[in-house]
Amino acid sequence: MGFGAGLVIFNLISACRLIDKGQEIFNIVLGAWLVLSPFALGFSAESEAGINAMIVGTLVVVLAGWQMHDAVGGARK
Give the global pTM. 0.74
| pLDDT for position 32 | 93
pLDDT digits (tens, 9 = 90+) for 15-62: 666 555 677 888 888 899 999 999 998 887 778 989 998 999 999 899
Query: Cα(58)–Cα(15) distance, rounded to whole angstroms?
Result: 21
Q: Classify each residue of 5-26 as buried b or exposed e, where b means 16 or more C-beta atoms within 10 Å of its C-beta.
A: eebeebbeebeeeeeeeebbeb
